[in-house]
Amino acid sequence: QVLLQQWGAGLLKPSETLSLTCAVSGGSFSGYYWSWIRQSPEKGLEWIGRTSHTGLSTYSPSLRSRVTFSVDTSKNQFSLKLTSLTAADTGVYYCARGEVGLVGDYWGQGTLVTVSS
Amino acid sequence: EIVLTQSPGTLSLSPGERATLSCRASQSVNSAYLAWYQQRPGQAPRLLIYATSSRAPGIPDRFSGSGSGTYFTLSISGLEPEDFAVYYCQQYGGSPQYTFGQGTKVEIK
C-alpha cells in the first residue's frame, strides 16, 4: 500500500520560506511524477509543480520564480521550498504521486500553512 | 492555460438519486488526461476516474465518467451517504501544466 507522509512548519511570517517534505513508502519511487498542490478558498486546487526521482522538476509558471523542489532517493523523499511568502500563500499543501496526465493517484494528508505576521 | 468550469456549483439530491456533474474546458482536452477527484471535509482529494472513463482501483461501479473534446461528465448512480462531498475535474495540458475545476458540491437535499 502506497503511503505519502508529509511534514513541515505550519505557521510562517511574510517574507519567510516554506519548507515541506514528503516521504513515500510502500511503492516504487522511480517511474512516477511527484507533485505539490495547494488549496485555498480563494484559488481552489492549484498545482505547484512536479519532480521525478532524478530530480528533473517543472514548476507552475505563476510560482516558478519562488519554488524549488529537491529529491532524496536514499530516503524516498521529496521536498518543496517556497520563498518570499505572503498571505496569499496561505492554504493546505499536499504532496501526491502521479503520472504524465494525472496529478495524483495517492496523496499526502495535507499540511495547513498559515502566513501571518 | 486551459480553464475548467464545473457546473452546477452545488447539487442538492437525496440518497439513491442519480448525480450528473459537468466539466467544460476552454480548449480541447486529450481524453487520456482528464480525471475526477472526490474530496470529503478535512481529507485530501481521492482519485475516482482517470483517462475520462477509467475507474481507479477500489472505486465502486456507481461512479462513471464520459466525454470528449471540451465537455466531460461524472455520473454517480444511486447516491450513497458517503458520496456527499465535493468533486473536482482535472486536466493535463502539456508544458507541463495541470489545472483543476473549481468543484461541484453534492449535498443532501
Task: For B76-104, write each residue's pLDDT tens digit.
Answer: 999 999 999 999 999 998 777 899 999 99
Residue range A96-114: mean pLDDT, rounded: 95
Cis, bond preceding B96 (omega within 30 deg of 0)? yes
The pLDDT value recorded for residue B94 is 74
pLDDT in tens, B34-51: 999 999 999 999 999 999
How deeply is B9 buried, as exposed, middle or buried, from its count of CB atoms within 10 A (0-12, 13-18, 19+)? exposed
The pLDDT value recorded for residue B28 is 95
Subunit contact B92:A104, Cβ cutoff 8 A: no
Residues of B in Cβ contact (< 8 Å) with A61 = 97
Q: Which residues of A2-17 are buried (b: 16+ CB within 10 A; e: fewer)?
A: eebebebeeebeeeee
Question: Is B2 within 8 Å of B99 (Cβ atoms)?
Answer: yes
Residue range A76-97: mean pLDDT, rounded: 98
The pLDDT value recorded for residue A45 is 97
The pLDDT value recorded for residue B27 is 94
Subunit contact A101:B92, Cβ cutoff 8 A: yes
Residue range A76-90: mean pLDDT, rounded: 98
Q: What sign does the dihedral B8-B62-B27-B91 (CA atoms) show?
A: positive
* Amino acid (1-letter code) at residue B17: E
Residues of A in Cβ contact (< 8 Å) with B103 = 44-45
CA A79/CA A29 separation, integer angstroms: 14
Q: Say what percent of chain B tops pLDDT 90.
A: 94
Q: How many CA atoms lie within 13 A of B69 on its CB side?
A: 2
pLDDT in tens, A20-76: 999 999 999 998 999 999 999 999 999 999 999 999 999 999 999 999 999 999 999
Residue range A68-95: mean pLDDT, rounded: 97
CA A115/CA B103 separation, integer angstroms: 25
CB atoms within 10 A of CB B41: 6
Question: Is B2 within 8 Å of B27 (Cβ atoms)?
Answer: yes
Residues of A in Cβ contact (< 8 Å) with B97 = 47, 60-61
Nearest to B76 by CA among B12, B21, B10, B14: B21
Bridge partners for B12 per DSSP: B107
Q: Hey, is B66 helix, strand or coil?
A: strand
Residue A101 pLDDT > 90: no
pLDDT band for B32, please (50, 70, 90 cuts): very high
